[in-house]
Amino acid sequence: MPDKSPKQRTLPRTGIKASALTFAVLTLCGLLAGCGAGTNGSAGGEVELQFSWWGNADRAAATNEAVDLFEQRHPNIEVQTSFSSYNSYIQKLATQAAGGNAPDVMQLDYRQISQYASSGLLLPLGDRPEVGTGKVGSGMLRTGQVRGTQYAIPMGRTSQVLVYDSAEWQRVGVSEPRLDWTWRDWSAAMRELNENTGQAGSTDPGWSEDWFEVWLRGRGKSLYTDSGELGFDKSDLAKFWSFTNGLSQRGAVSPARQTTQIDGSAANMPFGRGNAASGITWDSAVGGFQALIGDSLRLAPLPSGPDGTPGQYFKPSMLVGVSANSAHPEEASQLVDFLINDPEAGDVLGVSRGMPVNQDIREDITPSLSGLDERIADFQQRLEGKLLDPPSAPPSGDLALQTTFQRDYDHVGFELRTPRRMAEQFLTSVRSELQQ
Amino acid sequence: MNVEAPDQRLSEKPRAEKPAEPAEAEGTRRKRKREGAAWVFLSPWLLGAAVLTLTPMLVSLYLSFTEYDLFTAPEWVGLDNYVHMFTEDPRYWRSAVNTLVYVLVAVPLQLAAALAAALALNSIGRGKGFYRSAFYAPSLLGASMSIALVWRALFNDGGTVDDLLSSFGVNMGGWVNQPGWALLVVALLTIWQFGAPMVIFLAGLQQIPGELYEAAEVDGAGRLRRFRSVTLPMLSPVLFFNLVLQTIQAFQVFTPAFTVSGGRGGPADSTLFYTLYLYDRGFTASHMGYASAMAWVLLVVIGIVTALLFRSSRSWVFYNDKG
């Protein structure tokens, strides 16, 4: 055997210590650096507009066609478009806006409006003569206002919906939902479905602030008041959660281990997976279920309050706003007006952003709709004039509270905490979010 | 911070290598020349470290004392973030406890698996290359989101594992969707990816001189005794290295929990790890100041844990160079 000195046989002590330390320092640096702010500069050309939105390829095709039409009408304007999926769009836009590089024209979510407007990132559109809003219903228009100023215009409207498989309901002999059913009727139907099919009647609505809002409005309350204060108290939430969790425990709606996996996509909803006889969603998201359930898919409104007060409302599926930093506010406003009011643009865009908010365009395109689009249009038609005005845009902290709501309900669903205890905890989070 | 530790070492090395140069002036000039070259070669890294790492770190330290929502200018709030974290945020403590449990479960088991695989691979002759690659593969795959998605599908309600167990009469109704099991499923994913420490163990095993085993055998030591009295002490520096590395990594675990839980750390916060909650506060709730404060607390905690590991190493790590 060759003679080796002991030093070569094992790794030297200092080497190991130094490598471990270096590694420790480097990885930690990466972690901390992730929380820094980032900026990057870009300069505007002549009349060149940036327009960005979230959506899928269908929406992109329709939007690009409409933008081409706009460029034909205004040869001096060139519009650069970009789009991505919802989650990455929200984060990307926030980063751009933080660096002062928000696009001239941007699609916005209802929950973003307050934060963007109060941070001075949006151009007030009320005093722009280019933007016509005469054909948009006043209740709908109000959803783009923050403290009385119009910062954004809704682009399409959607509403809460209970989707169900009518063939299945008929097969098990449960009568289909009526337009004016109440939460009591709903829970009776859920229990009946459960008894007749052996599976849950619907998704447990307790997981989402959206469905809690419908329940609250049916009782004459709201998530937030117009001035951004809380519109309900601890006992309201505790009552709602006791109600939904009670149904879940007896099998009438989905069990906690299914409810916890809901993420908005049809494929992860108990209804979409064939574990429940109905589901609760937005009518703009029904398309995902059509593929899973088929042509017997039907739409019904969410239940109303005890005295018949409807809880659901027409919500903007998305809004459009102009950056306060835009170098071309006039041209940007023209583009906004074109997207909302131009009949030809309306034809091209169709229902790619939900039912159009412009009354004339809505009536214009409705006859040409078919299949699921037609059923959605019909659903909204039946609700027309029966619903209360939508609430004002939620305050900025609401974006964070949405996930907190779902997390807190998990503890109720898995019976780790009582509804009352979790309602209390949720309200503590609300207070700390709204304070800021 | 110790960011400059490695370059100091590099620049000192040439000095230490020439203890007795006859022409003193000549030596200094050459030394300076070499040092200069070292700095030139280091400059891209130094520049990157200063601009991309050190600066954001300092900014993050500043932000940790502010309320910053990304849109409006940071507002100085002193120690508020830290006070809120320790006294008013139950979810913060939940995430800290989850992370600790994860570190205590995943790291020892992963190292044990890595060591076992390394020992097995060290003793086989034929097909060495194949088996090494096979055991290392999960570590390569695991870096991607996709494997975590597969994991989620496997252990979900109606997933492969669930179906398989159901056919044996064990009906669990999914693992990732139940608060009692989800954390273990995430830990299992980490344990399965033991390739990197395994390769290091393997290198360490091959450094152990064969004559030690021969001598032990002559003294009548059995397999187990040889492992305990020869392999383990000789391997202890490598074990220590792996332990430090894996512990630090485990504290910062993010991707598997984010993917397996669908981004929320559920069910019922059971996989809400520290970094996941940090991300949530910073990017979903727009409390960048709070997220920065969380990051600094994590840094300090990892620093303390690492220091404790180093201190404990004095009593159990055997360095052969002690002479």
pLDDT digits (tens, 9 = 90+) for B83-117: 999 998 889 999 999 999 999 999 999 999 999 99
- Residue A278 — φ and ψ, nearest 5°? -160, 170
Give the span between the Cα atoms of A134 and A136, in whole angstroms: 6
Q: Which of B57, B210, B264 sits opposite A29 (nearest CB)?
A: B57
**Assigned domain for A31 exists:** no
CB of B243 within 8 A of CB of B107?
Answer: yes
- In this structure, the answer to whether residues A300 and A263 fall within a common structural domain is yes
Q: B177–A260: do the CB atoms touch at under 8 Å?
A: yes
**Assigned domain for A273 exists:** yes
pLDDT digits (tens, 9 = 90+) for A181-198: 999 999 999 999 999 988
How confident is the model at residue A14, as a pLDDT? 54
Burial A255-280 (b: 16+ CB within 10 A, else e): bbbbbbbbeeebeebbbbbebbbbbb
3-state secondary structure of A6: helix
- Give residue A130's domain range: 48-157+315-381
Q: A258–B177: do the CB atoms touch at under 8 Å?
A: yes
Q: How many domains does chain A have?
A: 2
What is the mean predicted confidence (pLDDT) over B12-34?
62
- In this structure, the answer to whether residues A272 and A254 fall within a common structural domain is yes
* Shortest alpha-carbon distance between residue A8 and chain B (Å): 9
**Residue matched to tokens 């070569």:** A8
**Assigned domain for A38 exists:** no
Query: Which residue, among A133, A80, A71, A143, has the nearest Cα to A106 in the 3D structure?
Result: A80
- In this structure, the answer to whether residues A147 and A261 fall within a common structural domain is no
Q: Which residues have a Cβ under 8 Å from the Cβ of A311 and sit 6 or more positions away?
A: A213, A214, A215, A216, A217, A218, A219, A302, A303, A304, A305
pLDDT digits (tens, 9 = 90+) for B231-264: 888 899 999 999 999 999 999 988 888 888 777 8
* Shortest alpha-carbon distance between residue A395 and chain B (Å): 12
Beta-carbon-side half-sphere exposure of residue B187 (alpha carbons within 13 Å): 24
- Residue A374 — φ and ψ, nearest 5°? -65, -40
- In this structure, the answer to whether residues A203 and A305 fall within a common structural domain is yes
Model confidence at B24, pLDDT cuts 50, 70, 90, reads low
pLDDT at residue B14 is higher than 60 = no
Tell me which of A89-98, A156-165, A200-209 is least confident. Answer: A89-98
Cis peptide before B267 (omega within 30 of 0): yes
Model confidence at A6, pLDDT cuts 50, 70, 90, reads very low
How confident is the model at residue A433, as a pLDDT? 85
Give the span between the Cα atoms of A333 and A335, in whole angstroms: 5
- Give percent helix, percent strand, percent coil of chain A, each to the nearest 5: 50, 15, 35
- Give percent of chain B above pLDDT 90: 32
User: Residue A272's domain is classified under what CATH number?
Assistant: 3.40.190.10
Give the span between the Cα atoms of A151 and A286, in whole angstroms: 29
Among A9, A28, A101, A410, the residue to mutate for chain B (most B Cβ within 10 A): A28
Helices (H), chain B: 5-17, 24-48, 55-63, 80-87, 90-123, 128-142, 145-154, 160-167, 182-192, 195-207, 210-218, 223-226, 232-251, 255-260, 274-279, 288-316
* Shortest alpha-carbon distance between residue B274 and chain A (Å): 12
How confident is the model at residue A23, as a pLDDT? 52
- In this structure, the answer to whether residues A346 and A398 fall within a common structural domain is no
- Give percent of chain B above pLDDT 70: 90
pLDDT digits (tens, 9 = 90+) for B112-134: 999 999 988 888 877 778 888 88
Q: Which residues have a Cβ under 8 Å from the Cβ of A97 and sit 6 or more positions away?
A: A116, A119, A121, A323, B70, B71
Query: Which residue, among A306, A328, A362, has the nearest Cα to A157 in the 3D structure?
Result: A362
Higher pLDDT, A313 or A435: A313
β partners of residue A150: A145
**Which positions in chain B touch A116 (Cβ < 8 Å)?**
71
- In this structure, the answer to whether residues A224 and A282 fall within a common structural domain is yes
Q: B237–A260: do the CB atoms touch at under 8 Å?
A: no
**Assigned domain for A374 exists:** yes
What is the mean predicted confidence (pLDDT) over A299-326?
92
How confident is the model at residue A29, as a pLDDT? 45
**Residue matched to tokens 């990892």:** B302
- In this structure, the answer to whether residues A107 and A229 fall within a common structural domain is no
Model confidence at B321, pLDDT cuts 50, 70, 90, reads low
Tell me which of A82-91, A266-275, A310-319, B4-13 is least confident. Answer: B4-13
Nearest CA in chain B to A5: B321
Q: How far is CA A406 from the centre of its chain?
A: 14
Q: Which of A1, A11, A396 sits opposite B238 (nearest CB)?
A: A11
How confident is the model at residue A302, as a pLDDT? 94
Q: Does B206 touch chain A (CB under 8 A)?
A: no
pLDDT at residue B202 is higher than 60 = yes
Q: A13–B321: do the CB atoms touch at under 8 Å?
A: yes
Q: B310–A433: do the CB atoms touch at under 8 Å?
A: no
pLDDT digits (tens, 9 = 90+) for B132-142: 888 888 777 75
Domains in chain B, CATH or no CATH each: 5-63 (no CATH), 89-322 (1.10.3720.10)
The sign of the CA dihedral B29, B35, B38, B43 is negative
How confident is the model at residue A312, as a pLDDT? 93
Mean pLDDT of chain B: 84
pLDDT at residue A386 is higher than 60 = yes
Higher pLDDT, A13 or B41: B41
The sign of the CA dihedral B19, B21, B25, B29 is negative
pLDDT at residue B11 is higher than 90 = no
Give the span between the Cα atoms of A325 and A120, in whole angstroms: 9
- In this structure, the answer to whether residues A276 and A364 fall within a common structural domain is no
How confident is the model at residue A313, as a pLDDT? 92
Residue A148, sorted as left (phi over 0), alpha (psi -120 to 50) or beta, turns out to be left
**Assigned domain for A423 exists:** yes
ipTM: 0.76
- Give percent of chain A above pLDDT 70: 89
Give the span between the Cα atoms of B153 and B161, in whole angstroms: 9
- Altogether, the residues listed in chain A come to a count of 436
- In this structure, the answer to whether residues A275 and A173 fall within a common structural domain is yes
What is the mean predicted confidence (pLDDT) over A156-175?
90
Last residue of a domain, one of A357, A381, A405: A381
Extract the tokens encoding B257.
């929990």
Q: A414–B267: do the CB atoms touch at under 8 Å?
A: yes
How confident is the model at residue B140, as a pLDDT? 76
Q: Does A208 touch chain B (CB under 8 A)?
A: no
Which of 209-228 (B) contact A at CB < 8 A?
Answer: 209-211
Which of 302-321 (B) contact A at CB < 8 A?
Answer: 302-303, 306, 310, 319-321
Model confidence at B23, pLDDT cuts 50, 70, 90, reads low
- In this structure, the answer to whether residues A142 and A194 fall within a common structural domain is no
Mean pLDDT of chain A: 84
Give, in order, the Cα–Cα distances in Å from A398 to each of A63, A112, B156.
29, 9, 30
pLDDT digits (tens, 9 = 90+) for B59-78: 999 999 999 888 888 899 99
Give the span between the Cα atoms of A320 and B185, in whole angstroms: 43
What is the CA angle A73-A78-A81, rounded to 5?
110
Encoded amino acid at B180, one letter: G
**Assigned domain for A42 exists:** no
How confident is the model at residue A206, as a pLDDT? 92
- With 0-12 CB in 10 A as exposed, 13-18 as middle and 19+ as buried, what is B176? buried
Q: Does A92 touch chain B (CB under 8 A)?
A: no
Q: Which of B54, B173, B245 sits opposite A20 (nearest CB)?
A: B245
How confident is the model at residue B243, as a pLDDT? 94
Extract the tokens encoding B65.
């004392």
Model confidence at A436, pLDDT cuts 50, 70, 90, reads low
Which of 97-116 (B) contact A at CB < 8 A?
Answer: none
How confident is the model at residue A19, as a pLDDT? 55
Give the span between the Cα atoms of A314 and B87, in whole angstroms: 41
Model confidence at A373, pLDDT cuts 50, 70, 90, reads confident
Query: Which residue, among B65, B83, B61, has the nearest Cα to B74 in the 3D structure?
Result: B65
